[in-house]
Amino acid sequence: MVKEELLKLLEENRGEILPGNDLKDALGVSRNAVWKAIQLLKEEGHHIESIKNKGYTLLKQSDVLSVGGLTQALGAQPSYHVEVLEEVPSTNTYLKESDGKKNNTLVFAKKQTKGRGRLGRSFFSEDPGGLYFSLLKIEDLLQYNPAYATIACALSVRDALSEVSGLSLSIKWVNDIYYEGKKLAGILTEGTLEMETGTLSSLILGIGINVNTGSFPRELEDIATSLFMETGRTYVRQEVAKSVLSHLEKNLLLTKENPDALLASYKKHLLYLGEEITFLYEKKPRMGILKDLTAEGHLLVESEGSLLTLHSGEISIRKGDQT
């Protein structure tokens, strides 16, 4: 389609002026067809400037999630099968319930109506400025250790967001990214096991990031934040996704090759180390001192004279006395 091909050319030359004549020749269509496709792209929200007698330019800060833009931005390492959905309950659920999806399918949603978090919680994903996506891995799973997948994902999101924003971000065990006491991003990793062999048959890595989010529902105002709110500028989300994924692919390999290195990097950014925390233990709230991260990625907590190991499945932690 002319529109998609045109967007590809504009994306490849972001910030540069492309003469209408060159575009028409490259696409093999009339100038009028180029003009019409430009209008359609503008209607979709792409920031394209038409410069009289010169041509068209896709502005550097233009931020619309599209298959063409994402495919171009993400490059070919690995080559992702990108889908962009206008609205879906949850990109994780979508992947779980779709048959026949290829390895490295990457699904983005402009909006999720039932964004899911850990421990059955919800994740606010109705703001059009957020970045909500899930990656499906179904091949070469033996190169990963699923026990560290959430840790790899959290570290990747933390590092990518710190790099793009310049903010010094922390990780609240096990899967939340925080800035100055407020949540900026969350991760939900889900796997399926082959019943007969007990081996992993799919891994779904779901990531939600408050990127250009301008406001939150009242009940989240004091506990959630966005990169935009903290830095006062907006981000091109496909560039944010690119950075997250490039960290993620490397860190996923580390889950098997060198989990100690992965855990050491994760621990550097772990919140509340050495501090008092509240946690649920056998369904009851307890207090203790967060002592360490174990080699398995669990938390070691000193509480009421004994050392307890907290496993991620059933535990949520908070700072101090906040039951």
Determine, following the binding rule CB under 6 A, whether residue 117 of this chain makes contact with ligand BTN. yes
Q: How far is the CB of 114 from ligand BTN (least distance, A)?
A: 7
Our CB check for ligand BTN shows the closer of 98 and 258 to be 98
Q: How far apart are CA 225 and CA 101, in angstroms?
A: 33
Task: Measure CA of the first residue to CA of the last residue in the chain; give whole Å.
Answer: 56
Near ligand BTN by CB under 6 A: residue from 68, 208, 259, 288: 208
Report the DSSP pairing between strands 176-179 and 200-209.
unpaired
Our CB check for ligand BTN shows the closer of 222 and 257 to be 222
Mark the segment that binds ligand BTN (CB under 6 A) among 33-41, 63-71, 109-117, 142-150.
109-117
Near ligand BTN by CB under 6 A: residue from 71, 91, 170, 202: 91
Q: How far is the CB of 138 from ligand BTN (least distance, A)?
A: 17
Q: How far apart are CA 131 and CA 118, in angstroms?
A: 18
Near ligand BTN by CB under 6 A: residue from 8, 24, 118, 298: 118
What proportions of the chain, in percent to the nearest 5, are helix, strand and coil?
Answer: 35, 30, 35
Residues in the annotated binding site? 90-92, 112, 116-118, 183
Residues in the annotated binding site for biotin? 90-92, 112, 116-118, 183
CA distances from 136 to 100, 120, 171, 203 (A): 11, 20, 23, 6
3-state secondary structure 201-270: EEEEEEEEECCCCCCCCHHHCCCECCHHHHHCCCCCHHHHHHHHHHHHHHHHHHHHHCHHHHHHHHHHCE
Total residues contacting ligand BTN (rule CB under 6 A)? Answer: 21
The string of DSSP letters for 77-100 reads SS--EEEEES-BS-HHHHHHH-SS
Mark the segment that binds ligand BTN (CB under 6 A) among 6-14, 60-68, 116-124, 307-315.
116-124
Our CB check for ligand BTN shows the closer of 27 and 85 to be 85
Q: How far apart are CA 22 and CA 153, in angstroms?
A: 42
Mark the segment that binds ligand BTN (CB under 6 A) among 67-75, 120-128, 265-273, 292-300.
120-128
Our CB check for ligand BTN shows the closer of 125 and 251 to be 125
Our CB check for ligand BTN shows the closer of 38 and 317 to be 317
Q: How far apart are CA 176 and CA 208, in angstroms?
A: 10
Determine, following the binding rule CB under 6 A, whether residue 116 of this chain makes contact with ligand BTN. yes
Mark the segment that binds ligand BTN (CB under 6 A) among 54-62, 97-105, 121-129, 235-243.
121-129
Determine, following the binding rule CB under 6 A, whether residue 317 of this chain makes contact with ligand BTN. no
CB neighbours of 119 closer than 8 A, spacing ≥ 6?
314, 316
User: Contact 63/234 with Cβ under 8 angstroms?
Assistant: yes
Our CB check for ligand BTN shows the closer of 66 and 112 to be 112
User: Contact 137/145 with Cβ under 8 angstroms?
Assistant: no
Kindly state the greatest CA–CA separation across the chain. 79
Mark the segment that binds ligand BTN (CB under 6 A) among 21-29, 45-53, 88-96, 163-171.
88-96
Determine, following the binding rule CB under 6 A, whether residue 123 of this chain makes contact with ligand BTN. yes
Interface contacts to ligand BTN, rule CB under 6 A = 90-92, 112, 115-118, 121, 123, 125, 132-134, 175, 186-188, 206-208
